[in-house]
Amino acid sequence: MLQKGSKKLIGAWTFYDWANSVYPLVITTAVFPLYFGAVTGGKNAQLQFLGQNWQNTELYTYTLSLSFLIVAFISPILSSIADYMGNKKRFMQFFLYLGSFSVMALYFFKGIDTLWVGITFSILASIGFWGSLVFYNAYLPEVAYPTEQDDVSAKGFIKGYIGSVFLLLFILTMIMMPHWYGFAEKGEKAPGLVYRLSFVIVGLWWMGFAQYTLYYLPYNTHKRKPEKDFIFKGYRELRQVLRELKHQYTLKVFLISFFLFSAGVQTIIVLAGKFGDEELGLPTTNLIITILLVQLVAIAGAYLFSRISDRYGNITTLKITLIIWILVTFAAFLLPGQSPNVDVYFYTLGGFLGLVLGATQTIARSTYSKLMPEDTVDTATYFSFYDVTEKIAIVMGTLIFGFLVGITKSMRTSVLILALFFFAGFIVLFFMKRTKYVE
């Protein structure tokens, strides 16, 4: 067994980021949302599902909401299992196989007749992805010493970014030049098959590269045995954090702001592609190129705003990012769909979005870490509370987005509401008290 802190063990652990990051980029953000809209009839198409009539984008957003609601519910249970049982590797295997096989099963989602396949397996894929991350993250203290953990986490992020962008570029060539791979250039069958094959490729990539991680990760390092009634310990710990927040005014105010702007950030991440597709009528290739642009700029943005944060403080920097979010969402609301230069406008908005995407998330997490009580020893519980707060925010954001799409038959009103979430989060930050760590 490899020793804690060894380069090979750390490399194996971070390689799971390379394996799994293709799921959120290709499936959640870039390709599957566009495919779902296309095969269910395009903009404002009506569907029958579970005995109800749905607008297709409305149904898609509700599917996202349900998947994140399930994740928010089971995360505390999974965290407890990770803490109190030694067989984290077995649970991690279960969820990564659930996720990867579910992604591959989307190959059989061919249209309205197989709508249940798209709905069911997109939910299961989401559960598999987030469930595996609970156990993956829980391994960090076992593979790296405390002084190494920030750098190790960063290495994982970089590997995930490189791997996911590489695969998305490959899939983009399949969509733009299908004849390179033996598919017909014209006709509906070939492009549809290309999309469905991309789901299989993502699943195989995720499952295949994860084997390297699984091979080297230790099994039951601490020789732990399950404690009595450990399953629901996670919920009890979250309730304890909620009680403690009554006496932590600054942290409580920050979490309220975080909840509000996270509803906007995460909803935009998963639905920006559909907005460009349905409201602006942009070709799929343009949308995927924009998503790649966002990924590239996000790295530079995270670095830029980390420097701004060093100079002006976390809260001031976070306010700046939220102002940009407000302007981007308001500009998207006003964006003319029939303009000959709409693709240029969308690229520009994508650039600004990427500038603040990584920055908002990283600064929010570091701010929360600084605001946690100095005497707390159970930082994992506080971060579990943070993660559950974020997931519930996503549920609220996507639910409201889908509800408004169902009523107005347009995504523009929903985007405007997201601007209000950012504005509300921005205002709440002014009620925070200054601390010696966060200005």
Mean pLDDT, residues 240-258? 86
Residue 304 to residue 285: CA distance in whole angstroms:
29
Phi and psi at residue 337, to the nearest 5°: -70, -25
Regarding the domain delimited by 1-216, which CATH topology (the fold level of the hierarchy) does it fall under?
Answer: Growth Hormone; Chain: A; (1.20.1250)
Mean pLDDT, residues 186-208? 82
Task: Give the dihedral of Cα atoms 392, 154, 329, 388; nearest 10 deg.
Answer: 10
pLDDT of residue 86: 61
Residue 358 to residue 299: CA distance in whole angstroms:
7
Its sign, for the CA torsion 186, 192, 196, 198, is positive
Mean pLDDT, residues 356-372? 80
Token reading at 331? 């500009």
Type of residue at 199: F
CB atoms within 10 A of CB 188: 10
Q: Are the beta carbons of 20 and 206 closer than 8 angstroms?
A: yes
Q: Which of 112-116, 221-225, 232-236 has the lowest mean pLDDT?
A: 221-225
Do the first three CATH levels of 1-216 and 233-439 match, i.e. the same topology?
yes
pLDDT of residue 187: 43
CB atoms within 10 A of CB 435: 14
Q: Are the beta carbons of 145 and 92 closer than 8 angstroms?
A: no
- pLDDT bracket for residue 286 (50, 70, 90): confident
pLDDT of residue 227: 59
Element at 319 (helix H, strand E) = helix 314-334
Per-residue CA distances from 369 to 136, 141, 159, 385 (Å): 20, 17, 24, 12
Convert the pLDDT of each residue in 308-344 to its tens digit: 888 888 888 899 999 999 999 998 888 776 677 788 8
pLDDT at 237 over 70: yes
What is this structure's pTM? 0.83
Domain residue ranges of the chain, discontinuous segments joined by +: 1-216, 233-439
Per-residue CA distances from 394 to 203, 268, 418 (Å): 24, 10, 12
- pLDDT bracket for residue 228 (50, 70, 90): low
pLDDT of residue 93: 92
Sort residue 220 into left (φ over 0), alpha (ψ -120 to 50) or beta. Answer: left
- pLDDT bracket for residue 202 (50, 70, 90): very high
Q: Are the beta carbons of 16 and 159 closer than 8 angstroms?
A: no
pLDDT of residue 179: 80
pLDDT of residue 213: 93
Would you give the distance in Å from CA 39 to the centre of its chain? 24
- β-pair partners for 52: 49
Mean pLDDT, residues 182-200? 73
Q: Are the beta carbons of 4 and 144 closer than 8 angstroms?
A: yes
Beta strands, E only, 175-330: none
pLDDT of residue 125: 95
pLDDT at 130 over 70: yes
Options 1.20.1250.20, 1.25.40.80, 3.40.50.720, 1.20.58.340; CATH for 233-439 is 1.20.1250.20
- pLDDT bracket for residue 242 (50, 70, 90): confident
Residues ≥6 apart with Cβ < 8 Å to 187: none
- pLDDT bracket for residue 23 (50, 70, 90): very high
